[in-house]
């Protein structure tokens, strides 16, 4: 049995919620330039947004495995919540594992309930997601900190109370820079945002951030100043697992549309789904999605067991497999519908662009192949 009875029940309950909203709701929100506030609020009230967080802080006591189920099923219903990848999966997980008691009491109940959101800023214009080249720096100033730098492609800054920023501080012993995480309130002086114009039909907007001598109190630092990459990847592994769930949900939705169309659309004597040229590619897409889901479940299980190293490999593989599966599923779905696949009525054309996101973000498939070739296969680096 791959999933427990509780996980299967959670999957069914979230699927029912997603069905009540569906693609029409999601498309309407995008068209009107709004946000998925109603769905987010209801998912929070039902306990789905905080299912991975400790019960003592208002969560469900589950893990990333349960949170991934929630996002996948909402995506399969046509109404994914991208901020789930960021707010409860990255930010809340990092605070839960490494935050002070005060940070946990302040943030986790609100993040679990969905009454507050937190964005996550790591990517930079000249460094991408290379944590070793991050130039956003944090220096001590009395009892507090001063942050300076830039970030790009930060989701949902406009709807988040704060952004968890990855900066670098100087190690007093070695003089080398090491990554640290800071909670930066949206209204902090010197914290500016500019929306990036995207060809992506999504409720969540993307932003470039400028941190110009942003002064923060000592309690803005999350966790231990010396923990470095350990804390960072405590958030990045769930991010990869959740991105995989996001992609799997998208692929399932597109495939479902294509299968229904192939089952009912008749051009000659039989429905077009009776022809192997139509049926076999859809069957292959289904297989790819299911294989990606298995690796996603493995990554989530390892992470929830506390095996960060094992989870890192599986999470990267899951994200790679799911991204490829989603792109192929969406492409085949559009192709199955022919001209109808490009109409607004069926809503698949917009997913062509959206599916590419899972190949690119939060880390490109090429960097995942680098990770696997170096870490899993032991091959030498070229960089």
Burial 121-160 (b: 16+ CB within 10 A, else e): bbbbeebbbebeebebbbeeeeeebbbbbbbbbbbbbebb
Take residue 382 and report the two structure tokens written for it. Answer: 């070229």
Describe the chain by its helix, strand, coil percentages, rounded to 5.
Answer: 55, 15, 30
Structure tokens of 166?
């990855």
Pick among 3.40.1230.10, 2.60.110.10, 2.40.110.10, 2.30.30.40: CATH of 120-222? 2.40.110.10
DSSP string, 222-256: ES-TTTTHHHHHHHHHHHHHHHHHHHHHHHHHHHH
What are the start-end ranges of the E strands in 63-143? 118-121, 137-141
Helix (H, G, I), strand (E, B) or coil at 94: helix
Q: Render pLDDT for 174-208 as a digit per residue (tens, 0 to 9).
A: 667 788 999 999 999 999 999 999 999 899 999 99
Grouping H, G, I as helix, E, B as strand and the rest as coil, residue 51 is coil
Longest dimension (CA), the chain: 80
Sign of CA dihedral 355, 366, 88, 200: negative
* DSSP one-letter string for 178-222: EEEEEEEETT-TTEEEEEE--S---SS-EEEEEEEEEEE-GGGEE
> 5-116 falls under which CATH superfamily?
Acyl-CoA dehydrogenase/oxidase, N-terminal domain (1.10.540.10)
Are the CB atoms for 150 and 182 separated by under 8 Å?
A: no
Please tell me whether residue 123 adopts helix, strand or coil conformation.
Answer: coil
Per the CB < 8 A criterion, the answer to whether 165 and 121 are in contact is yes
First CA to last CA distance, the chain: 42
Are the C-beta atoms of 170 and 164 separated by less than 8 Å?
no
CB atoms within 10 A of CB 349: 16
User: Domain spans of the chain?
Assistant: 5-116, 120-222, 229-376
With contact defined as beta carbons under 8 Å apart, do 19 and 11 qualify? no
Residue 61 phi/psi, 5-degree rounding, is: 80, 10
pLDDT digits over 76-117, tens only? Answer: 999 999 999 999 999 999 999 999 999 999 999 999 999 999
Angstrom CA distances, 80 to 134, 250, 252, 288, stand at: 30, 8, 12, 20
Q: Distance (Å, rounded) from C-alpha 152 to C-alpha 154? A: 6
Along the 383 residues of the chain, how does pLDDT read in single tens digits?
589 999 999 999 999 999 999 999 999 999 999 999 999 999 999 999 999 999 999 999 999 999 999 999 999 999 999 999 999 999 999 999 999 999 999 999 999 999 999 999 999 998 766 666 789 999 999 999 999 999 999 999 999 999 999 998 876 566 677 889 999 999 999 999 999 999 998 999 999 999 999 999 999 999 877 666 778 878 899 999 999 999 999 999 999 999 999 999 999 899 999 999 999 999 999 999 999 999 999 999 999 999 999 999 999 999 999 999 999 999 999 999 999 999 999 999 999 999 999 999 999 999 999 999 999 999 999 88
**pTM score of the predicted model:** 0.96
**How would CATH label the architecture of 229-376?**
Up-down Bundle (1.20)
């Amino acid at each position: 049995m791959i999933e427990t009875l509780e996980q299967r029940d959670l999957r069914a309950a979230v699927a029912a919620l997603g069905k009540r909203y569906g693609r029409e709701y999601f498309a309407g929100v995008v068209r009107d330039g709004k946000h998925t506030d109603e769905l987010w609020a209801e998912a929070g009230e039902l306990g789905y947004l905080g299912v991975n967080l400790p019960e003592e802080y208002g969560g469900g006591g589950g893990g990333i495995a349960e949170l991934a189920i929630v996002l996948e099923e909402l995506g399969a219903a046509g109404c994914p919540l991208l901020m789930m990848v960021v707010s409860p999966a990255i930010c809340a997980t990092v605070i839960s594992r490494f935050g002070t008691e005060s940070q946990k009491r302040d943030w986790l109940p609100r993040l679990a309930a969905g009454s507050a959101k937190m964005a996550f800023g790591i990517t930079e214009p000249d460094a991408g997601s290379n944590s070793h080249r991050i130039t956003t720096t944090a220096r001590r100033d009395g009892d507090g900190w001063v942050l300076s730098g830039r970030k790009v492609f930060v989701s949902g800054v406009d709807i988040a109370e704060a952004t968890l920023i990855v900066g670098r501080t100087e190690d007093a012993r070695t003089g080398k820079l090491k990554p640290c995480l800071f909670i930066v309130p949206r209204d902090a002086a010197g914290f500016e945002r500019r929306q990036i114009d995207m060809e992506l039909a999504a409720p969540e907007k993307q932003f470039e951030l400028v941190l110009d001598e942003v002064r923060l109190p000592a309690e803005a630092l999350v966790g231990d100043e010396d923990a470095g990459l350990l804390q960072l990847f405590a958030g990045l592994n769930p991010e990869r697992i959740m991105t995989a769930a996001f992609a799997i949900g998208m692929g399932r939705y597109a495939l479902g549309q294509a299968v229904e169309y192939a089952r009912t659309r008749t051009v000659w004597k039989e429905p077009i789904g009776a022809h192997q040229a139509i049926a076999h590619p859809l069957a292959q897409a289904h297989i790819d999605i299911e294989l990606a889901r298995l690796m996603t479940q493995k990554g989530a299980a390892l992470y929830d067991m506390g095996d960060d190293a094992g989870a890192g490999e599986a999470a990267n593989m899951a994200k790679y497999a799911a991204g490829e599966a989603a792109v192929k599923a969406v492409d085949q779905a559009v192709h199955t519908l022919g001209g109808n696949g490009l109409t607004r009525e069926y809503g698949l054309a917009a997913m062509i662009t959206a599916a590419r996101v899972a190949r690119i973000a939060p880390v490109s498939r090429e960097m995942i192949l680098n990770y696997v070739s170096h870490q899993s296969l032991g091959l030498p680096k070229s960089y």
